[in-house]
A and B are shown apart, each in its own frame.
Chain A
Amino acid sequence: GAGVSQTPSNKVTEKGKYVELRCDPISGHTALYWYRQSLGQGPEFLIYFQGTGAADDSGLPNDRFFAVRPEGSVSTLKIQRTERGDSAVYLCASSAVAGENYEQYFGPGTRLTVT
């Protein structure tokens, strides 16, 4: 079946603008995760959803970042008043359910550039 997909693949925006990044998980996967990968670094956890609710948003850097998953499938990561430091690759992953036994499958990422 299809893997995790993310759109857009690339996004260039000006400082101060609002952006939305979309993630389509593997069909039937109830758990969805967002990670951020800065240049030369490994991915860092941002937030995870079990179903529609954000079960852990402790990785979100500040209140400019927000994510939703209203129907328990597609998720949107929203960034307000973007800053140059937000430039990174945003990766989405999904797993059948949350938990250590379940492998996370990653999408190709969205490369965000804030100018």
Chain B
Amino acid sequence: KQEVTQIPAALSVPEGENLVLNCSFTDSAIYNLQWFRQDPGKGLTSLLLIQSSQREQTSGRLNASLDKSSGRSTLYIAASQPGDSATYLCAVRSGTYKYIFGTGTRLKVLA
């Protein structure tokens, strides 16, 4: 059974700092991995989608990497801003249509 873990559960950083969020999964036979952002009381916003054949994806200040063999992904956020404050969720798909989500990392960027 696929399990997804995110560390840390919560993170508070000063504005401008570069940071890394971690995601690990137990079954390396994934189809893709996706990072989402969730603001309080809101739905999920897709940030980056990495196919199993890819090693990384970049969008603006965000970079996500994938190491399937070790069951790990990282989301790197450069030059963090207060507007980046949100919960970040990692989700994998392992040959089915369902997303298997981690528990999320709650990020707070202090001005």
In the complex, chain A residues whose CB is within 8 Å of the CB of B97 = 31, 33, 48, 56, 95, 98-100
> How many of chain B's residues touch chain A, expressed as a range?
20 to 34
> Which residues of B77-100 have CB atoms within 8 Å of chain A's CB atoms?
89, 91, 93, 95-100
Q: Mark B15-43, 1 if CB is under 8 A from A, else 0.
A: 00000000000000001101010000111
Contact, CB under 8 Å: B31 / A43:
no
Number of A positions contacting B (CB below 8 A): 26
Nearest Cβ on chain A to B54's Cβ, whole angstroms: 14
Instruction: Give Cα distance in the complex from A75 to B100, angstroms.
Output: 22
Contact, CB under 8 Å: A45 / B43:
no
Instruction: Give Cα distance in the complex from A42 to B90, angstroms.
Output: 9
| A52 sits at the interface (CB 8 A) | no
Contact, CB under 8 Å: A107 / B43:
yes
Instruction: Give Cα distance in the complex from A31 to B31, angstroms.
Output: 18
Contact, CB under 8 Å: A41 / B98:
no
Nearest Cβ on chain B to A8's Cβ, whole angstroms: 13
In the complex, chain B residues whose CB is within 8 Å of the CB of A106 = 36, 43-44
In the complex, chain A residues whose CB is within 8 Å of the CB of B101 = 42-44
Q: Mark A11-52, 1 if CB is under 8 A from B, else 0.
A: 000000000000000000001010100001111110010000
In the complex, chain A residues whose CB is within 8 Å of the CB of B89 = 42-43
Across the interface, A100 reaches (CB within 8 A) one of B93, B100, B103, namely B93
Instruction: Give Cα distance in the complex from A56 to B98, angstroms.
Output: 10
Instruction: Give Cα distance in the complex from A48 to B93, angstroms.
Output: 15
Instruction: Give Cα distance in the complex from A48 to B98, angstroms.
Output: 9
In the complex, chain B residues whose CB is within 8 Å of the CB of A56 = 97-98
Instruction: Give Cα distance in the complex from A108 to B43, angstroms.
Output: 4
| B62 sits at the interface (CB 8 A) | no
Across the interface, B103 reaches (CB within 8 A) one of A41, A59, A107, namely A41
Contact, CB under 8 Å: A111 / B46:
no
**Which A residues contact B (CB, under 8 angstroms)?**
4, 31, 33, 35, 40-45, 48, 56, 59, 91, 95, 98-100, 103-109, 111
For the complex of A and B, the 3 pairs showing the least CB-CB separation, nearest first, are A42-B101, A106-B44, A100-B31
